[in-house]
């Protein structure tokens, strides 16, 4: 099948051109190595789509198994000359948005009953369970335990924090560190005791219907709280709230949505974060752009500005950075359904971080954090000794 489909330029699978600093290709194709046949990168996926439209290939469960082996990272969007990007601008530009196309196919698979795949179905079931409202299958009450010790949390206010599900249920230490940073600068925030999952998980899987109840509930909740600005620390929630919610609603939200780094940068510019005095050599750090912040939302500069303002550090970029950044492997439902594939992709990113000679790998997404951290564990002590993975929030808190 793959050979018959090889009619495109193939840049989405092979455009590695070190001489001009381009290393864009598909992380899934690279991780598959010898087993990477066409459907594992954009050219083959486009070929399959064409065949579906021409009714030569039916939608099926078998097809879904391949379609969901894509992290929706958007690297193919950056390399393909049929889309508009900084590297290639032709008069044919902006014909397609690959990630939107992959997602449209996922929606069709869901509609026809060939998806969600088993692990994905479980996440959506938990997300819609009235006693949970999170994809981890945890009781609702567990999601609000993390902020009980903080006195700067209010029920209502202009500035509302959306915790999402992953941080409070799996990495609550990072949220506690965020509260310490806010508290040190005298900032009060409002947090809902009844926020539901943003629905990112079901949107990436292609089940748009499953998200509407969450969307309506969350927006009403934040309106009731008096939100003027809603901010979140999770890259996936940020994309969902800021991009997907208005698109699904067909109108602007009644409040502004920000990522936590946009709050932190203001605090840093106003010298509101009390850092410890730094002595000795600069600590080399590098930064991994989460796909949901970078390619999906164009938020490249602010996390870097935040890092630059932390005393005592030197930021060294990885060879693939910003629009070129290598995916961590966790997105698009890959981590839950194909965990080994997710880790294989993450291992490449870890090696790239080590190549910079940085001692700390920073990121700003709990999914990247989990997957990169799982990869480091698997890679063993030799790698663990070379690099420490940290969320930007935890890193700032460690310097206070």
Nearest residue (CB) to ligand SF4, 82 versus 261: 82
Q: Which residues contact residue 376 at a Cβ distance below 8 angstroms, ignoring those fewer than 6 apart?
A: 350, 383, 384, 387, 389
Nearest residue (CB) to ligand SF4, 50 versus 61: 50
Residue 376 C-beta: closest distance to ligand SF4, Å: 21
Residue span binding ligand SF4 (CB under 6 A) among the ranges 41-49, 194-202, 244-252, 256-264: 41-49
Residues 85-104 as x/- pattern, contact with ligand SF4 by CB under 6 A: -------------xx-----
Closest CA relative to residue 101, chosen from 12, 32, 15: 12
Q: Which of 8, 137, 312, 339 lies at the binding interface for ligand SF4 (CB under 6 A)? A: 8
- How would you classify the pairing of strands 283-287 and 360-363? parallel
Residue 12 C-beta: closest distance to ligand SF4, Å: 3
Question: CA separation (Å) from 107 to 103, 104, 156, 208?
Answer: 6, 5, 37, 7
**Residue 192: both structure tokens together:** 């809902």
The reply on whether position 196 binds ligand SF4 by CB under 6 A is no
The reply on whether position 343 binds ligand SF4 by CB under 6 A is no
Q: How long is the chain?
A: 400
Residue span binding ligand SF4 (CB under 6 A) among the ranges 24-32, 85-93, 130-138, 278-286: 24-32
Residue span binding ligand SF4 (CB under 6 A) among the ranges 77-85, 197-205, 352-360, 368-376: 77-85
Residue span binding ligand SF4 (CB under 6 A) among the ranges 4-12, 172-180, 253-261, 298-306: 4-12
CB 291 within 8 A of CB 363: no
Q: Which of 5, 31, 64, 76 lies at the binding interface for ligand SF4 (CB under 6 A)? A: 76
Residue 111 C-beta: closest distance to ligand SF4, Å: 21
Residue with tokens 């809902």: 192
Residue 48 C-beta: closest distance to ligand SF4, Å: 12
- Taking the CA atoms of residue 262, residue 267, residue 268 and residue 270 in that order, the dihedral angle to the nearest 10 degrees is 130
Beta bridge partners of 22: 17
- How would you classify the pairing of strands 283-287 and 313-315? parallel
Inter-residue long-range contacts of 307-313, CB under 8 Å, 24+ positions, other chains counted: 307/362, 307/392, 309/265, 309/268, 309/269, 310/275, 310/395, 310/396, 310/399, 311/275, 311/277, 311/278, 311/399, 312/278, 312/280, 312/282, 312/283, 312/399, 313/282, 313/283, 313/284, 313/285
Question: CA separation (Å) from 358 to 23, 79, 306, 329?
Answer: 20, 28, 17, 21
Nearest residue (CB) to ligand SF4, 70 versus 230: 70
Nearest residue (CB) to ligand SF4, 98 versus 143: 98
Residue span binding ligand SF4 (CB under 6 A) among the ranges 67-75, 86-94, 113-121, 200-208: 67-75
The reply on whether position 43 binds ligand SF4 by CB under 6 A is yes
Q: Which of 2, 10, 65, 316 lies at the binding interface for ligand SF4 (CB under 6 A)? A: 10
The reply on whether position 75 binds ligand SF4 by CB under 6 A is yes
Q: Which of 23, 41, 114, 238 lies at the binding interface for ligand SF4 (CB under 6 A)? A: 41
Site for ligand SF4, rule CB under 6 A: 8-12, 26-28, 41-43, 45-46, 70-76, 79-80, 82, 98-99
């Amino acid at each position: 099948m793959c050979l018959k489909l090889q009619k495109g330029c193939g840049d989405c699978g092979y455009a590695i051109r070190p001489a001009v600093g381009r290393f864009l290709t598909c992380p899934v194709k690279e991780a598959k190595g010898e087993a990477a046949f066409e459907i594992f990168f954009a050219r083959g996926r486009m070929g399959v789509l064409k065949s579906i439209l021409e009714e030569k290939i039916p939608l099926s469960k078998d097809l879904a198994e391949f379609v969901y082996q894509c992290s929706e990272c958007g690297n193919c969007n950056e390399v393909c000359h049929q889309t508009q990007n900084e590297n290639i601008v032709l008069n044919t530009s902006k014909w397609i948005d690959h990630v939107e196309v992959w997602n449209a196919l996922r929606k069709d698979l869901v509609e026809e009953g060939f998806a969600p795949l088993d692990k994905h179905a479980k996440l959506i079931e938990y997300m819609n369970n009235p006693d949970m409202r999170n994809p981890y299958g945890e009781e609702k009450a567990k999601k609000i335990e993390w902020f009980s010790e903080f006195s700067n949390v209010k029920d209502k206010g202009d500035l509302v924090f959306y915790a999402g599900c992953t941080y409070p249920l799996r990495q609550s230490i990072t949220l506690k560190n965020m509260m310490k940073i806010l508290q040190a600068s005298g900032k009060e925030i409002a947090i809902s005791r009844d926020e539901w999952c943003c629905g990112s998980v079901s949107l990436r899987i292609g089940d748009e219907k499953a998200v509407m109840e969450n969307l309506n509930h969350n927006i009403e909740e934040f309106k009731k709280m008096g939100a003027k600005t809603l901010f979140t620390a999770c890259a996936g929630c940020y994309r969902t709230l800021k991009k997907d919610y208005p698109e699904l609603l067909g109108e602007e939200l009644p409040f502004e949505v920000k990522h936590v780094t946009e709050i932190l940068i203001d605090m840093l510019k106003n010298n509101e974060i009390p850092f410890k005095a730094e002595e000795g050599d600069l600590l080399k750090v590098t930064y991994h752009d989460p796909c949901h912040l970078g390619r999906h939302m164009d938020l490249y500069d602010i996390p870097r500005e935040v890092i630059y303002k932390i005393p005592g550090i030197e930021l060294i970029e990885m060879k693939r950075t910003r629009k070129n950044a290598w995916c961590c492997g966790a997105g698009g439902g890959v981590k839950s359904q194909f965990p080994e594939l997710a880790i294989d992709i993450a291992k490449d990113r870890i090696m790239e971080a080590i190549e910079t000679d940085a001692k700390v790998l920073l990121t700003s997404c709990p999914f990247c954090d989990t997957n990169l951290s799982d990869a480091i564990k698997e890679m063993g002590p030799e790698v663990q000794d070379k690099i420490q993975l940290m969320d930007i929030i935890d890193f700032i808190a460690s310097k206070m």
